[in-house]
Amino acid sequence: MDNDKLMWHTDSEETVFRSPVFEVKKKMQTAEAGPSGAYYAVKGHRCVCVVAIYEGKLVMVRQFRHGSDRITAELPGGIVDDGETPEEAAKRELEEESGFRAGKITLLGQMNPNPALFEDISTLSICLAEELVPTGELHPDADEVLKNVLVPFDEVVAEMGTGEYTHMFLGTAFLFYLRYRKCIGSI
């Protein structure tokens, strides 16, 4: 089957839920191959997460997550504001959440968190922060309660998928970081 037969077309679309962080759209869609139905898509914000290593340890943030109802350990990150590049957002989020200022930011790559559910606008940008300078000050958003921590990279890799290290963005960020450092290649 060629790609044209794989395409679906939107017949109608309506927003069925809207929050400050995302909205849910109901789309009536029809496939070229025949099936049709109601499908739902999430329109989120562009977001960024930051790989930052200071004195051999990964800069991380511990915070409560409402979806899982538990504390997670994550990379600093957040929403890319309108008019902001991912690199600018990475620099800002790193300083706000971790108390480190970066002298250099490199965009490592971008992904859609889940194309089955998220529109293309909902990209995750992974950035590498280098030339870190500790400021000792956090400037979290009004609704953020967090703690910055330095964790050995190997510990995070060993514990990934368990305990506090369950955020899916960790694996994506590490893959981009290892590719950038040329630690991985072809199979």
Q: Which CATH architecture has domain 47-180?
A: Alpha-Beta Complex (3.90)
| Dihedral (CA of 65, 45, 118, 174) sign | negative
Please, which pLDDT band fits residue 1 given cuts at 50, 70 and 90?
low
pLDDT greater than 70 at residue 185: no
Q: Backbone phi, then psi, for 171, in 5-degree steps?
A: -60, -40
119-150 b/e (C-beta count within 10 Å ≥ 16 → b): beebbbbbbbbeebeeeeeeebeeeeebebee
| 84-123 tens-digit pLDDT | 999 999 999 999 999 999 999 999 999 998 999 998 888 9
How high is the mean pLDDT of the chain?
Answer: 93
Q: How far apart are CA 76 and CA 13, in angstroms?
A: 34
Mean pLDDT of 69-82: 95
pLDDT, position 187: 54
Residues of the chain with CATH 3.90.79.10: 47-180
| 140-171 tens-digit pLDDT | 788 888 999 999 999 999 999 999 999 999 99
Mean pLDDT of 6-21: 94
